[in-house]
Amino acid sequence: MDINGAVVLVTGASSGIGAATARAASQAGAQVVLAARREERIRKLADELGDAVAVRCDVTDPEQVEVAVRTATDAFGRIDVLVNNAGQGLHAPIDEIDPDDFRAVLDLNLVAPLITMRAVIPIMRKQAAGSIVNVSSGITFGALPGSGAYAGSKAGLSKLSAVARAELADTGIAVSTLYPFITATEFVDSIRAGNEAASDLESSHAPQPQTPDQVAEAILDLVRTGAEQADLVPERFGGSFKG
């Protein structure tokens, strides 16, 4: 898909990978819809980008997602690209995971992408074209102690994404999955539990984290090519990234 002139809806757009993706898409000529809970941040970003709309949205709430989608179509007439980026971490051994925390992480990392896909697929079907990029995680490439809740949610998203791709193969809608590695964002600061342990794990695996801009470019490459997946996981951890 040509990003120039496309309408791109990005979830979790208030910071990190989401904000970087919105900026990169805008620079490539897209009209961008910013969806996130932190309204002040996305409104400021929308002002920065110019041809953009900010919508306060908790993506775990189907009604708020419908409002965001309706806002996008009212503003731009269509939705060409959905980037499912919103997510949250949780770091704890299996026997210490609070079930309520686990449910909350699953709700945001796995159920919410289902909600947003359900909301945009009918629009993309009518257009006979569309691109959905689901942001999973390179943590699913291994079995790291303490990562069970987060990795489990992202592994589920990867499978959901693969099934959606198969189901929509004949509709003109490409569903792709991106596997970022450790990225320099606010992610660790906002995880639901186990902040210190997660920070130690990240520093031991990536003393120099990748930048959100690197991830954003990988997301846009998937939009352009419609490829099934891409990863930024270094080869020594089972990925294809050579940098």
Q: Which residues are catalytic?
A: 150
Please classify residue 208 by burial: count the beta carbons closer than 10 Å to its beta carbon, then call 0-12 exposed, 13-18 middle and 19+ buried.
exposed
Strand pairing partners for 174? 131
Q: How far apart are CA 99 and CA 114, in angstroms?
A: 21
- Give the total residue count for the chain: 243
- Run of H or E residues at 56: strand 52-56
Residue 79 in tokens: 């939705």
At 61, phi and psi to the nearest 5? -105, 110
- Name every residue whose Cβ is closer than 8 Å to that of residue 236 and which is 6 or more positions away in sequence: none
Q: How far apart are CA 33 and CA 60, in angstroms?
A: 17
